[in-house]
Amino acid sequence: MNWFDFLLHNRGEVLQRTIEHIGLVSAAMGIALAIGLPLGVALVRRTRLQRWVLGAANVLQTIPSLALFGFLIPVPWIGGVGSSTAIVALALYALLPILRNTCTGIAGVDPAIIEAAQGMGMTPRQVLWGVQLPLAAPVLLAGIRVAAVICIGVTTIAAAIGAGGLGVFIFRGVAMVNNEVILAGAIPAALLAIFADLGLGLAQRRLAAR
Amino acid sequence: MNTEGTVVHKSDALECRRLGYQLTDGSQTKTLVSDLNLRIGQGETLVLLGRSGSGKTTTLKLLNRLLVPTSGEVFIGGKPAADLDPVQMRRGIGYVIQDAGLFPHWSVAKNVSLVPRLEHWPEEKIRARVDQMLELVGLPAAEFAERRPVELSGGQRQRVGVARALAADPPILLMDEPFGALDPVTRAELQKEFRILVSELKKTIVFVTHDLREALYLGTRITLLAEGRLVGTYSPEEFLQATSPEVRAFAASLHPENGNEAGHNAQR
């Protein structure tokens, strides 16, 4: 039996795991965006604090994912075995690219344009929403794209702490020493990553071309 | 008004009293503008002339409060600028910078409509005003309204910058080397048209440049700055006859060949 037959045979479970996977990624990305975008905007003009926060996010990124899942299990409120712990860890991974690109994207907007906007009588809020964010949008979206791809990949490991997702097949396959089962998880996960990358890439090019 | 002393006080559109601006970075203090007194009458074009780093642009930004003075005061229409809401105040002061500073993600029409939109004009009035402004700066709306700034030449962008600054009909216009990035032919063309425009619109204009030719051509008065200090304020005629060394140095820039000839003669 090759991996494709296995997929067909177990399409019910594959579909269910794929939906779980997308759910975990969406929840984590939602949290990362909700924290990363406003935090990035707030840090644009605070260069010293920005260095510290980006440094901390960088350190988080270097913690091996399996270890981070393990570390979070004993933490009260968010910890325990299951999807909530996984979502917190995934959000931490997705945070860095979003945060960094928000900071650099906004800082990269031509200062003459900002000055003109202020000089014409736009409020700081109008400058942010009307000028800085739209002009930084392609860079921001590039960060979201990287975060999404990382997140989809790391989510396969979340199965190790009982969060479900396509990683379930991978861990099961490893335990069974069965490549077909591993591929039944790995290939849909890879496809998800490719589609996310292509879709967000397209959106990014659309924005840049405006 | 033949000399600066006779400007009638009540008609002053803009006034600076002992205006100063210092930057403090740790223990170091850098003075960019100090002790600047200026009175700019209604309908006048005052040129702030000076070399790079003389404080011209800083002075301009102190006028619309993009920079907050560290000493002295600015009065706008007789009222202390410090008492006004800076955002509201700036909507009554047109601002044009080098290379226009247009929003690249907006069409020409939307760029021009910026201040009327901020002021919540009715949509119809905005559209009519945009067409009128584009016509005024020689860019027919039918052809240019929907273009993006990247689809324009440097001269056209600068025209849009002027149209945007004039859109809400502000009584005061601040211009920071608006024609500085243009090729000489386009620059001369825009200077000529701008002079006509100014005579028709009767705005109070503060115009920053380092080009004496431009200053003499466009200014009703010329204020020379050097190292953040005021050297003097002159009419164009007075400027060419003034004897202060800073003025002479600038006047000499009109005829660079004279200086060289003198050198040659001395050698012979």
**What does the block give as tokens for A76?**
């009260």
CA torsion, ordered B205, B210, B212, B213, to nearest 10 deg: -80
Q: Do B64 and A119 touch (CB under 8 A)?
A: yes
Q: How far from each other are the two terminal CA atoms of chain B, in whole angstroms?
A: 47
CA torsion, ordered A179, A185, A187, A193, to nearest 10 deg: -150
Q: Do A116 and B89 touch (CB under 8 A)?
A: no
- pLDDT tens digits for range A20-66: 999 999 999 999 999 999 999 888 888 888 888 888 888 888 888 88
- pLDDT tens digits for range B220-262: 999 999 999 999 999 999 998 888 888 898 888 887 776 544 4
By mean pLDDT, which of A13-27, B3-17, B213-227 is the weakest?
A: B3-17
Tell me the residues of B at the A interface, defined by beta carbons under 8 Å apart: 64, 66, 87-92, 95, 97-105, 114-115, 118, 164-165, 174
- Is a pLDDT exceeding 60 seen at residue B7? no
Confidence tier at B3 by pLDDT (50, 70, 90): very low
pLDDT of residue B262: 42
Interface list for A 76-135 with B (CB within 8 A): 110, 112-113, 115-123, 126, 130-131, 134-135
